[in-house]
Amino acid sequence: MDAIIALEDVHFAYRGASQHVFDDLDLSIPDGAFAVILGPNGTGKTTLLHLILGYRRPQHGKVYIAGTLQERYTRREMSRLAGLVPQDEAVAFDFSVLDYTLLGRAPYIGPLDMPTENDVQIAIKALETVGVAHLGMRPLASLSGGERQLVIIARALAQQPRILLLDEPTAHLDLSNRNRVLHVLRTLNQHGTTVVMTTHDPVAAAAVANFVVLMRDGKVIEAGQPEEVFTAERLSATYGVPVRVLRLEEQILAFNPLR
Amino acid sequence: MSATYPDYNHRTARQLRYLAVGLLGLLLLSVLWGRYSGASLLSPAELWHDPLAQRLVMTLRLPRVLMACLLGMGLAASGSTLQMIFRNPLVEPGFLGVSQGAAFGAACAIMVFGTVPFAVQGLALFFAGLGVVLSYLLARHIRFGGWVLRLVLSGIAISALFASGVGVLKYVADPLTQLPEIVFWMLGGLYAITWSKLLSILPLAVPSLAVIFFMRWRLNLLSMGEQTAFSLGAAPTRERAIALAAAVGATAAVVSVSGVVGWVGLIVPHMARRIAGSDAQKSLPVALLMGGIFALVCDNVARTLLAGEIPLGTLTSLFGAGLFILLMTTANPWLRSAA
């Protein structure tokens, strides 16, 4: 499999910050993967997504998306290639679910143009894909946390992207909503979308990933198949606390025993 | 498939038709309604035969009625735009020093040139623009907070500076000739509108309104967070700057001839969102028409209720604040985020 995302010798530091986030980061994510970036809070997972998207630019090094240098893409081209589900989607006005999802069509609509009927149909289709089409006319603010997260995913899907980037999509969800979101993401991946998701939750990662990147302090500790990566030793190194790994009914469970 | 959402676009189309018909009817009525030896409605026959009535309508009422309409539209569109790009439903067009800048400019002109019409308008426009530029420059030098917070803070500071300048001018103004002019200008009104004044602001007002009108769907995108707007292919900073320039242009143009007319730009976008939803593609045209209607109704009351002119700004504040209280005390989901 070719890499759809490749970072080479990437160096990145926030302006005015004395410490860099990444120093000589190398990472490649295979096309069609369900990749999970796993690591403790504050390790640079969000920054990594921003570098992939071009929202932030590395001071040194190169980022390739689908074989082309990231900075060669225009914003519009990039927005057709990759959709983002940010961690905090603050919506200041009370849009209806469909109005909000339609924003995902922006990459295909000129700055002075309006969405067409075709755009509306694609937005409705995106809502159907994640299973919330019946909520279309509801105000976004009236949804539950899980429904809201699914609608945000639908908004990104309306971009018809090859790559879906998600920043901690399950962080604030209860068990059933977490699984609902993960199930939708896995189905999308099975239909060909490359999914790149950050999380600090190893159980969620193990449940869906077919490619895992373990990160700590801006460094990749290990990247590869979940079976190889999910060992007690490597997870302990990632989180800096003792982690135990169990296999139960073909699922991998990783946890930090409370003593 | 669209059968799932049969009402998605049609409801707004219907609302827009009603509002457009309402505004046109009101325009016609306003031209005929007024004090012509007592508050009354001119009959078409009267208008046909009475040359004085014809001159009254053509040189006084028509430009004034059209100006009231443009004033309401400009303030409503500007308010909608600013609320979207600053992601804050409580922003109004006069902030960023526009209103107070215009007031200071008008006061200066009255002090120096007396009531030479284009001097007042020109200086009001110039200082409204200067207010924005100063707010912008100050915001760039504030060392904390996000861009929106910095702009709002510097807008408050620059407005206060201009307000104190107006205070000084009022203090030194001749209490018999200049002071009443300044005070009356600051209360807002369309009593001195002529065709030439109306036409003189069109080159700024019309392009500004056109930019806002055509960008209206894009405004939704600009009301999202930075990451989201970027990931959807927008250039948030540049596009917000364009929308901001258009909103300020529209406000400065109308305020330069009307004086300070408050509340229209705050209350009308709220009512429009209440009727048409938050999507600016639908709510902005509604806001434009409602703004026109609101200002026209207020101005009609201002010029006909009493024998003397009631300041328009006073009436828009009265009606605006009243409606605002009414809206706030009924269930309104869109104010949630303002808390």
> Is the distance from CB of B215 to CB of A111 less than 8 angstroms?
yes
User: Could you tell me the pLDDT band of residue B318, with boundaries at 50, 70 and 90?
Assistant: very high
The predicted structure's pLDDT at residue B332: 54
Question: Please, which residues 232-251 of chain A have a Cβ atom closer than 8 Å to chain B?
Answer: none
The predicted structure's pLDDT at residue B1: 41
Percent of chain B with pLDDT over 70: 93
Range of the domain at A23: 3-88+162-255
The predicted structure's pLDDT at residue A202: 87
Q: What are phi and psi of B22, to 5 degrees?
A: -60, -45
In a domain, A99, yes or no: no
Terminal-residue alpha carbon distance, chain A: 43
The predicted structure's pLDDT at residue B338: 37
Higher local confidence (pLDDT), B37 or B51: B51
- Cα separations (Å) of B334 from A100, B89, B237, B272, B278? 15, 8, 25, 11, 8
Question: Whole-angstrom Cα distance, residue A95 to residue A118?
Answer: 20
Q: What are phi and psi of A167, to 5 degrees?
A: -100, 105
How many domains does the structure of chain A reveal?
1
User: Could you tell me the pLDDT band of residue B77, with boundaries at 50, 70 and 90?
Assistant: very high
In a domain, A228, yes or no: yes
> Is the distance from CB of B88 to CB of B269 less than 8 angstroms?
no
A137 inside 8 A of chain B by CB: yes
Could B2 and A115 be called an inter-chain contact, meaning their C-beta atoms sit closer than 8 Å? no
A14-23, B38-47, B181-190, B293-302: range with lowest mean pLDDT:
B38-47
In 10 A of CB A193, how many CB atoms?
19
Rounded mean pLDDT of chain B? 86
The predicted structure's pLDDT at residue A105: 96
In a domain, A246, yes or no: yes
**Nearest-CA distance from A95 to chain B in Å?**
5
The predicted structure's pLDDT at residue B124: 87
In a domain, A112, yes or no: no
Question: Whole-angstrom Cα distance, residue B38 to residue B36?
Answer: 5
The predicted structure's pLDDT at residue B44: 80
For B210-263, the pLDDT digits (tens) are 999 999 999 999 999 889 999 999 999 899 989 999 998 899 889 888 888 988
Mean pLDDT, range B286-294, rounded to an integer: 95
Question: Whole-angstrom Cα distance, residue A124 to residue B5?
Answer: 9
Could A117 and B2 be called an inter-chain contact, meaning their C-beta atoms sit closer than 8 Å? yes
In a domain, A77, yes or no: yes
User: Could you tell me the pLDDT band of residue B9, with boundaries at 50, 70 and 90?
Assistant: low
Q: What ipTM did this prediction achieve?
A: 0.92
What CATH number did the domain enclosing A178 receive? 3.40.50.300
In a domain, A114, yes or no: no
**pTM, two decimal places:** 0.89
In a domain, A234, yes or no: yes
B165, HSE (Cβ side, Cα atoms, 13 Å): 19
In 10 A of CB B109, how many CB atoms?
25
Q: What are phi and psi of B327, to 5 degrees?
A: -65, -40
Residues 6+ apart with CB under 8 A from B326: none
Could A124 and B5 be called an inter-chain contact, meaning their C-beta atoms sit closer than 8 Å? yes
pLDDT beneath 50: ranges in chain A: none
The predicted structure's pLDDT at residue B148: 76
In a domain, A60, yes or no: yes
